Amino acid sequence: MADIIQLLPDHVANQIAAGEVVQRPASVVKELLENAIDAGATTIKLIIKDAGKTLIQVIDDGKGMSVTDARLCFERHATSKIKSADDLFQLNTKGFRGEALASIAAIAHIELKTKQAGDDVGTAIVIEGGSVTSQEVVVTPQGTSVSVKNLFFNIPARRNFLKSNAVELRHIIDEFHRVALVHSDINFVLYNNGSETFNLPVSNYRQRIVNIFGTKTNEKLVPVDEDTEVLKISGFVGKPEFAKKTRGEQYFFVNNRFIKSAYLNHAIASAFDGLLKSGTHASYFLYLTVDPQTIDINIHPTKTEIKFDDEHTLYALLRSAVKHSLGQFNIAPVLDFERDASLDTPYNFERKQTNSPTIEVDRSFNPFVADDRPVKAPSPVSTSPSKSYSYKKESTSNWESLYVGLESKSNNESQEFSEVHFESDQTTASIFNDEKEVEQTHTTYQLHNKYIVSTIKSGMLLIDQHRAHQRILYEDFLKNMTIKEAISQQLLFPLELHFSVKEIEILKQLKEDLEHTGFVFSSVLNESVEITGVPVSVPESEVSIILEQLISDVENEVPDAHFSATDLLAKSMAKSLAIKTGQSLKKDEQEHLVNKLFACKEPNVTPTNKTTFITMSVDELDKKFI
Ligand code: ADP
Ligand code: MG
């Protein structure tokens, strides 16, 4: 038989390599920024259009390339950074594989302009799908500019696989942060769709962190400094009280390279043991320096994973360095046995003034408008606010409108509870053979402040209070957002909340939906928002927690083709606001919860598909007594 093995043509090999190196626009950003740093640049500009789908350009003032190098840099395995395999263990540069430019050139249109110091003119090269289409002499400043256009133009599957611009831009900003955080001696500028999003001046690490994450960050940082024979640690951890629901602000850099390490992350988490509220994560920005001989960064094409020779020692050192800092800065609690906690005035009450009785006035009542007052906002267990006003926007139809219909006009509470329909749901229909029976079963009992037990015709019902409430709130929020009517509670004093630039970007996208739930934003600035109204069901003290949770949910959003901001918002708010396990409920609150749950369209599961209740028939119970 004839021989069948053949060598792949270069352009095919490059396309295959590109699959590993370039997953999305953010990967290109990383490679180009790293090349600019390796070239010794002091100012690096990143220009993005349409989340990198149209243009990614990096302009540096580094050492530039000669005419030959400008041509050669697009060849595979073309690198100036290592000469022999031994150099792999002495790496002082970011790149070394010599595949980035070759890979990017295989799947995009590239324009390169570069000039070395001392040369009068530079070189411009245009390369499309791996082949050079033009090479010219140009007048250009010292340094290099690489423009990458039409990424994945020849791999439609890849291009279609890209997420929305918002998501891709977030990845780009993440990558930009990772690089900028560790090179505070370089001026980085990011232009997104023509406007300057970041301009980070040359500074120290602390200022760089603050410039990225907002001025408020400064007071949250506790320095960490430890110098041992095997490891030098410097950087900062966030004070425990500022711990976030999101893992967003967790950064490890090893020898100036951002890395991910679940193992080292665990070391930090254990140093914070007992200091954090459950479900929150400490922020950290830690810069580790180790002997390059003791690590292997070659194990991953995009080089975010690292292999350490002696992980255990690193773990122990890191943990104790962080503990030490927390103790030194008096963050860790001081033991005090003498104190009687019952003598302490709860913080909230210290400043509380007595309330004068208020008169309930329906401020939304307008005698000139026909009866189309807004839907009651969800508030099964919250108290009714003294001030509220409503606002209404025109509704547009989309898929969420499935949730509208039953009760889009005014519905008073009693009507809401008596209108319990089960026919849409097979499971529940079989549990409650008879609607009337539900109304009659007023016997509820709370178990361990966690479950609500109730009787049904065939036996008993056990409801998880937290999950059930999530379902109720979720459907209510979704409905309000879809019909765009919500009651807002005006705040006495505007609430100013601080966020990072990236978080503000996320909030901007959600602003409109948030307004449909009852939030009123009086201003959205670069690093803060001012809120003058909140949904009636949301206590003022919870606002920042809810928004933080929401941002974290959006950031961690699982790849989902049916991603909808409205849905995510409803889920996130329901999760934050649902009554918690451990909260004791009065009899009428328990009943209210049961009734509202079974008035839901899908009472059996939470918005994230977890069981909300179980039933046990008398037969099943009987069997247990045999
Ligand atoms: P690597 O960075 O792994 O060497 P790349 O494909 O990213 O591989 O780059 C190939 C070579 O092109 C680099 O080794 C470097 O010599 C040159 N190069 C790339 N970008 C720049 C730049 N911005 N300034 C100067 N030289 C560059
Ligand atoms: Mg490189």
- Fold of domain 444-597: Ribosomal Protein S8; Chain: A, domain 1 (3.30.1370)
Q: What is the spatial order of strands in the sheet that 613-617 belongs to?
A: 444-447, 451-456, 459-464, 613-617
Atom number of ligand 1 nearest to Cα 58: 23
CB 153 within 8 A of CB 183: no
Q: Give residue 117's pLDDT band: very low, low, confident or very high (50, 70, 90).
A: very high
CATH for 205-328 is 3.30.230.10
Q: Which of 137-151, 175-189, 218-232, 366-380 shows the lowest per-residue confidence on average (mean pLDDT)?
A: 366-380
pTM: 0.62
Please provide residue 454's backbone torsions phi and psi, each rounded to the nearest 5 degrees. Answer: -145, 160
Q: Decide if pLDDT at 156 tops 80.
A: yes
Does the CB atom of residue 39 touch ligand 1 within 6 A?
A: yes
Does the CB atom of residue 101 touch ligand 1 within 6 A?
A: yes
Provide the residue ranges of all domains of the chain, joining segments of one domain with +: 10-200, 205-328, 444-597
Q: Which of 169-178, 263-272, 388-397, 526-535 shows the lowest per-residue confidence on average (mean pLDDT)?
A: 388-397
Q: Give residue 441's pLDDT band: very low, low, confident or very high (50, 70, 90).
A: very low
Better pLDDT: 373 or 54: 54
Atom number of ligand 1 nearest to Cα 97: 3
Does the CB atom of residue 539 touch ligand 1 within 6 A?
A: no
- Across 317-337, average pLDDT: 74
Query: What distance in Å separates the CA atoms of residue 225 and residue 218, rounded to the nearest whole number?
Result: 17
Q: What is the pLDDT of residue 368?
A: 59
Better pLDDT: 195 or 433: 195
Burial of 285 (0-12, 13-18, 19+ CB in 10 A): buried
Q: Are strands 109-115 and 122-128 parallel, antiparallel or unpaired?
A: antiparallel
Atom number of ligand 1 nearest to Cα 34: 2
pLDDT in tens, 382-421: 444 433 444 443 343 444 444 444 443 444 444 444 444 4
β-sheet bridge partners, residue 134: 126
Does the CB atom of residue 78 touch ligand 1 within 6 A?
A: yes
Continuous H helices in 107-204: 156-161, 165-182
Q: How far is CA 93 from CA 81, 112, 254, in A?
A: 7, 21, 12
Does the CB atom of residue 145 touch ligand 1 within 6 A?
A: no
Distance from residue 98's CA to the centre of ligand 1 (Å): 7
Q: What is the pLDDT of residue 80?
A: 79
Does the CB atom of residue 81 touch ligand 1 within 6 A?
A: yes
pLDDT in tens, 14-59: 777 766 678 899 999 999 999 999 999 999 999 999 999 999 999 9
**HSE, side-chain direction, 13 A CA sphere, residue 69:** 15
Query: What distance in Å separates the CA atoms of residue 452 and residue 465, rounded to the nearest whole number?
Result: 6
Q: Give residue 365's pLDDT band: very low, low, confident or very high (50, 70, 90).
A: low
Does the CB atom of residue 292 touch ligand 1 within 6 A?
A: no
Q: Which of 51-60, 382-391, 501-510, 582-591 shows the lowest per-residue confidence on average (mean pLDDT)?
A: 382-391
Structure tokens at 71: 């041509």
Query: What distance in Å separates the CA atoms of residue 180 and residue 285, rounded to the nearest whole number?
Result: 12
Which residue's C-alpha comes closest to atom 16 of ligand 1?
80
Structure tokens at 558: 């699982």
Q: Give residue 61's pLDDT band: very low, low, confident or very high (50, 70, 90).
A: very high
Does the CB atom of residue 261 touch ligand 1 within 6 A?
A: no
Helices (H) and strands (E) in the chain, counts: 19, 23
Better pLDDT: 553 or 199: 199
- Across 531-543, average pLDDT: 85
Continuous H helices in 39-164: 67-72, 100-106, 156-161
Q: Which of 150-154, 477-481, 524-528 shows the lowest per-residue confidence on average (mean pLDDT)?
A: 477-481
Does the CB atom of residue 65 touch ligand 1 within 6 A?
A: yes
Q: What is the pLDDT of residue 60?
A: 97
Name which CATH class applies to 10-200: alpha beta
Provide the Cα torsion 56, 162, 192, 247; round to 10°.
-110
Distance from residue 70's CA to the centre of ligand 1 (Å): 9
Q: Give residue 442's pLDDT band: very low, low, confident or very high (50, 70, 90).
A: low
Most confident of 25-39, 218-232, 306-320: 25-39
From the CA of 88, the nearest ligand is: 1
Which of 35, 75, 123, 140 gets mutated to test ligand 1 (max ligand atoms within 8 A of its CB)? 35
CA-nearest of 386, 383, 374, 444 to 598 is 444
Does the CB atom of residue 58 touch ligand 1 within 6 A?
A: no
Q: What is the pLDDT of residue 412?
A: 43
Better pLDDT: 479 or 248: 479
- What are the contacts of 310-314 at 24+ separation with CB within 8 A? 310/230, 311/263, 313/230, 313/231, 314/230, 314/231, 314/264, 314/267, 314/288, 314/290
Task: Compute the mean pLDDT over every residue in the chain, rounded to the nearest whole number.
Answer: 80
Q: Which of 11-20, 171-180, 334-343, 348-357 shows the lowest per-residue confidence on average (mean pLDDT)?
A: 334-343
Atom number of ligand 1 nearest to Cα 99: 6
The radius of gyration of the chain's CA atoms, rounded to the nearest angstrom, is 30
Q: What is the pLDDT of residue 258?
A: 92
- Across 493-511, average pLDDT: 88
Does the CB atom of residue 238 touch ligand 1 within 6 A?
A: no
Atom number of ligand 1 nearest to Cα 104: 6
pLDDT in tens, 163-203: 889 889 999 999 999 999 999 999 999 999 999 999 999 99
Does the CB atom of residue 73 touch ligand 1 within 6 A?
A: yes
Q: What is the pLDDT of residue 235?
A: 95
Q: What is the pLDDT of residue 401?
A: 45
Better pLDDT: 417 or 307: 307
Matching residue, tokens 């598909």: 609
Which of 101, 104, 140 gets mutated to test ligand 1 (max ligand atoms within 8 A of its CB)? 101
Burial of 621 (0-12, 13-18, 19+ CB in 10 A): exposed
Q: Give residue 549's pLDDT band: very low, low, confident or very high (50, 70, 90).
A: confident
Percent over 90 (pLDDT), the chain? 35
Q: Which of 64-73, 174-183, 384-393, 610-619 shows the lowest per-residue confidence on average (mean pLDDT)?
A: 384-393
- Across 550-579, average pLDDT: 74
Q: Give residue 370's pLDDT band: very low, low, confident or very high (50, 70, 90).
A: low
Q: What is the pLDDT of residue 388?
A: 40
Q: Which of 2-6, 112-116, 179-183 shows the lowest per-residue confidence on average (mean pLDDT)?
A: 2-6
Query: What distance in Å separates the CA atoms of residue 69 and residue 67, rounded to the nearest whole number?
Result: 6
